[in-house]
Structure 1
Amino acid sequence: MAKKPIGPVRRSFAPWDDPEAVPFIEFKNVTKRFGDFTAVDNLSLKIYEREFFALLGGSGCGKTTMMRMLAGFETPTEGEIFLDGQSLAGVPPYRRPVNMMFQSYALFPHMNVEANIAFGLKQDNMPKDQIADRVAEMLRMTKLETFAKRKPHQLSGGQRQRVALARSLAKRPKVLLLDEPLGALDRKLREETQFELMNLQEELKVTFLIVTHDQEEAMTVADRIAVMNSGKIVQVATPGEIYESPNSLFVADFIGDVNLIEAKVQERSATGTRLKAVHGDYVIDSGQETDASVGDTVWYAIRPEKVRMSVGEATAGTPNTANALVWDIAYLGDMSIFHNKIGDTSMRSTVANVARTVEQPISWDDKVTLSWDGDAGVILTG
């Protein structure tokens, strides 16, 4: 029986679930030190051909160093990197079938769009007729045909981004590396470009590796995400699995918005676990088993959209319900975020604004019942 995916899956492509699949890119026990500072710490990772893979983490976590080692701009202190079955040790950047697109785009200001795209092809001494055909193909794929004769300063930020992308793809690399490629774009254009990147990657069937600190960007474009912290990978999974089943407090807190409820294990059974909240008089019945013993402290991670709200007080002793006081409300148009006080702690909940007007709205200082399903959250031990 096939494993049921957690969360929506962008496409059926999933070679990482095939034990016979051979990785296209592989980091084997790679460490990179800069003096006394360890940027990447004994890291191993497998990425598959045609995968859109994201390295996600905060500043200084080691994600850009990993990309630069793959590109050949940095050399591992220890370990080895393989591409398409071949070790990259000693292979200079210009000999690697890899191209890199930088956040700054690095376009030549004195060249028009066509010339920028053709530059690398000319450096490789490709015949002129083939260069013309390849440039025309790249212009079509990136929707830049009408801008071919313009200089970079005559283009918008989104158009310059597409020129840089076209130039990076023109040489038909086996791997395209994208270093924070959309950081300079405004939010709306960034969202539009994310979908363009996804469609382009599927059409070209090129392996994409994107480095980003933007969680939404990684979850939108990537087949899988590696969440990094302090030079280590803490979880590798699909966006849905990362969001719905984080494997640690760090991942749960780093990805999206989450309520982390400190609790004590009250009962354990083959069908689940009962927890008693440390702050607030309520219990949590979870269908999840845990390795923690009775009496141990754990955390119950539940996303705000999984928490329901209703006016009035909960029936005492009812599992997965808590009495709360609405402390603050943020109206964001498509949804509203409620900060609800439970004793000396709070629990956030979100409500989708599905109607333009709301009858009997929940407002500040209202007493409410918060409730959730038994499988809505996950139990984390650290």
Structure 2
Amino acid sequence: MAAKAIGPVRRSFAPWNDPNAKPFIEFRNVTKTFGDFTAVDDLSLGIYEREFFALLGPSGCGKTTLMRMVAGFEEPTRGHVLLDGQDLVGIPPYRRPTNMMFQSYALFPHMSVWENIAFGLKQDGMPKADIVARVDEMLTLVKLEQFAKRKPHQLSGGQRQRVALARSLAKKPKVLLLDEPLGALDKKLREETQFELTDLQMRLGMTFLIVTHDQEEAMTVADRIAVMDRGKIIQIATPAEIYEQPNSRYVADFIGDINLLEGRLSSVGAGGAKLECVGTGATVDVAQDVSARVGDQAWFAIRPEKVTISLTPPADPNVNAVSGEVWDIGYLGDVSIYHVRLATGATVKSTITNTTRLVERPITWEDKVWLSWTRDGGVVLTR
């Protein structure tokens, strides 16, 4: 039986919870070095058929190197990369059932949209009638039928991105590799295209592997995310699990906004723990099983939207509560972020959704306020 998901999921699809399911793409103890630099460090990973999988991390963490090893542009120094049970070592890129869509799109400027999409099919010697049918199918898929005769410079950035996507899909690869595919688009178009990508991937039933440093992009499109750092995978989980249950300070801090407060465990028991928190100057009560001992150093992590801000102490005696002074306020349109300075000198952030228009702010600069959160609002991290 599949594990109960944390947070919303896009679809009923979780082969990683099935002990009998076999990965479609598999990295087995893969290491890749460039001289003295280790880009990928003894990494093992399984990606399943029809999964939209994201490799997420900062520049230089090894995510692009992993993708290039699937494509055949790099070979592992040690270990094995398998696709559908076949070891890919020694197989040239053009013989692999994969295709890559690059950030730059790499469209031929002298060719029309139609010719760009048809190029790879012609190289493979596909019959002319089949090429016509396939290109027309791809143009319909990406909704560019009326732009077939235009050259790339006559298209918008979003349209060029769609041409590159259609060209990548035309050969019907088993795996589509997406290397920062939306990086050249403006924010609004990028957000729209993310949802189009997920819908397209589900319709086609293909395996998509995307490399990105954009956490929002990974959270939007992926079934699972692998957060990477220095050639290693720090955590693999669904977007909701990565956000709500990070396994380390690195993941908590990399994904979204977070309050991280240091302390020491004063109590550890079944279903709960208490943390003497230096940042809050109080004991934080958490509804969580913690694999650590009393006296161990730990950090309390809580998202700003889980922290309630008010002018009066909370009525519920079972919540965690501390007092402070509003130090700064960030207005972002849909939300306002309050930076509250505590008596300890630590700053805790709280987010309020702006549900009404043109209403006088009830809490403002230099107000004395209370911050509160439930026992299950945050998590204790021990690394």
- Distance in 2 of aligned mates of 1:371 and 1:172: 53
1:86-125 to 2 correspondence within 5 Å?
Answer: 86-125=86-125
Residue 215 of structure 2 is matched in structure 1 by 215
**Aligned letter for 2:228?**
M
The percent of aligned pairs where both chains have the same amino acid is: 69
Change (3 A) 1:116 1:48: same
* Deviation at residue 3 of structure 1 after TM alignment: 2.5
Residue 357 of structure 1 is matched in structure 2 by 358
1:1-382 to 2 correspondence within 5 Å?
Answer: 2-313=2-313, 320-342=320-342, 343-358=344-359, 361-382=362-383
Unaligned stretches of 5+ in structure 2? Answer: none
**Contact 1:54/1:209, CA 8 A, preserved across alignment:** yes
- Distance in 2 of aligned mates of 1:320 and 1:226: 32
**Contact 1:336/1:350, CA 8 A, preserved across alignment:** yes
**Contact 2:225/2:238, CA 8 A, preserved across alignment:** yes
* Deviation at residue 22 of structure 1 after TM alignment: 1.0
- Distance in 2 of aligned mates of 1:10 and 1:192: 16
Secondary structure (helix, strand or coil) at the match of 2:76 reads coil
- Distance in 1 of aligned mates of 2:314 and 2:222: 41
- Distance in 2 of aligned mates of 1:52 and 1:225: 9
**Contact 1:313/1:367, CA 8 A, preserved across alignment:** no
Stretch of structure 1 that moved more, 328-337 or 360-369: 360-369
**Contact 1:282/1:319, CA 8 A, preserved across alignment:** no
Secondary structure (helix, strand or coil) at the match of 1:53 reads strand
Supply the RMSD in Å over aligned alpha carbons.
1.4
Secondary structure (helix, strand or coil) at the match of 2:210 reads strand
* Deviation at residue 314 of structure 1 after TM alignment: 6.2
What's the CA shift string for 1:319-371, capped at 9, x where partnerless? 51010111000101000011111121100010000111335611000111100
- Distance in 1 of aligned mates of 2:224 and 2:278: 35
* Deviation at residue 149 of structure 1 after TM alignment: 0.5
* Deviation at residue 121 of structure 1 after TM alignment: 0.3
TM-score by length of 2: 0.97
- Distance in 2 of aligned mates of 1:60 and 1:29: 19
* Deviation at residue 264 of structure 1 after TM alignment: 1.6
- Distance in 2 of aligned mates of 1:379 and 1:260: 10
Secondary structure (helix, strand or coil) at the match of 1:298 reads strand
**Aligned letter for 2:371?**
L
Secondary structure (helix, strand or coil) at the match of 2:300 reads strand
- Distance in 2 of aligned mates of 1:219 and 1:26: 22
Change (3 A) 1:363 1:12: same
Secondary structure (helix, strand or coil) at the match of 1:178 reads strand
Secondary structure (helix, strand or coil) at the match of 1:12 reads coil
- Distance in 2 of aligned mates of 1:103 and 1:349: 36
* Deviation at residue 21 of structure 1 after TM alignment: 0.5
Change (3 A) 1:263 1:162: same
* Deviation at residue 318 of structure 1 after TM alignment: 6.7
**Contact 1:27/1:46, CA 8 A, preserved across alignment:** yes
Unaligned stretches of 5+ in structure 1? Answer: none
What's the CA shift string for 1:44-66, capped at 9, x where partnerless? 00000000000000000000000
TM-score by length of 1: 0.98
**Aligned letter for 2:208?**
F
**Aligned letter for 1:36?**
D
**Contact 1:283/1:321, CA 8 A, preserved across alignment:** no
Stretch of structure 1 that moved more, 155-164 or 340-349: 340-349
* Deviation at residue 374 of structure 1 after TM alignment: 0.4
Secondary structure (helix, strand or coil) at the match of 1:217 reads helix
What's the CA shift string for 1:263-318, capped at 9, x where partnerless? 22112222311112113332211111212222222101100000001103569x97
**Aligned letter for 1:190?**
R
- Distance in 1 of aligned mates of 2:5 and 2:14: 11
Secondary structure (helix, strand or coil) at the match of 1:227 reads strand
* Deviation at residue 229 of structure 1 after TM alignment: 0.2
- Distance in 1 of aligned mates of 2:105 and 2:379: 41
**Aligned letter for 1:311?**
L
Secondary structure (helix, strand or coil) at the match of 1:280 reads coil
- Distance in 2 of aligned mates of 1:265 and 1:38: 36
Aligned residues: 382
